[in-house]
Amino acid sequence: MKLDYLLMDVFTREPLKGNQLAVVPKADGLLDDEMQAIAREFNLSETVFILKPKADRNTAEVRIFTPYTELPFAGHPTIGAAVALGLQNKVSAVRLEEKVGLITALFEKTDRCSGEARFALPRLPSRVADLSDKLGIAQALGIEVEDIGCDVYKPAVFSAGVTFHLVPVRNAEVLRRVQVNSALFNKVFHHDHNSAYIFTLTPEEPNNDIAARMFGMNLGEDPGTGSAAAALIGLLAEEALSTDQADYVLRQGHEMGRPCRITLQFRRDHEVLIHGGIGGHAVIIGEGTLDLGTESKPQ
């Protein structure tokens, strides 16, 4: 059996930047454990498998796997899948069936191998728990207790389909200095996938509003995490006392040499969150074929 695949860089306009993604465009017939094995073979943060949709009016079913497990939702695979399908089908919108729900992504072509996609979150972020152990957080991240907190933001646990521990820090210098203490990390960040999204406001940087880093999910550091940015929308909206609508540009991955640019937006009605959105560019940088075995020959 042979399967074609694409390699993409997501949350970037430039090849060899952003977050890497493998896309298997025709994955119908693969079993769950085969998808998991292929994702483990690629060994990227996520691999997307595109299948025929369950409902005819939708564009595709999308399955998302890390090397270790399947995810109900992830941002950079959704952006990558939307760009790949938008380019392939020459359409301005795609409807994706994911485990978290139906996602409609708007697509705009940049050139023959790249484009931009943005989508409304299928599940709005919600607060899961407080995160009050500042000493434990500081020790797990290799920073000082007084480095924790930024403007009105305090540590908390949020989810928009995947759970993240959100940790605001004082400034971009503190963010740069974060060094994970692996002996303490999972104990402190104990919800679900043990994922910590550390962020700060960047008023001194002209091209973005927020900077972030993500650690956990058995992946080490991730250069661009849309599902974590989606969770962060919940905290941003919760603390937005003076506005019911806002747009942000977030940078991630700079400390890894894989800069990502993620756009965020939210809208509230009478202080209740009614819309959250994620967007970004993606570029196809390569394609190939997986050879998973030869047909048996008659004796």
* Whether residue 78 is found in the same domain as residue 168: no
Which residue range is the domain that position 53 belongs to? 2-119+283-291
* Whether residue 274 is found in the same domain as residue 169: yes
* Nearest of 15, 97, 40, 29 to residue 281 by alpha carbon: 15
The CATH number of the domain holding residue 69 is 3.10.310.10
Q: Could you list the active site residues?
A: 46
Q: For residue range 186-243, what is the model confidence (pLDDT) as tens digits?
A: 999 999 889 999 999 999 999 999 999 999 977 789 999 999 999 999 999 999 877 8
* Whether residue 185 is found in the same domain as residue 96: no
- H, E, C per residue of 126-176: EEEEECCCHHHHHHHHCCCHHHECECCECCEEEECCCEEEEEEECCHHHHH
* Whether residue 287 is found in the same domain as residue 272: no
Share of the chain above pLDDT 90, in %: 93
State the average pLDDT over residues 119-126.
96
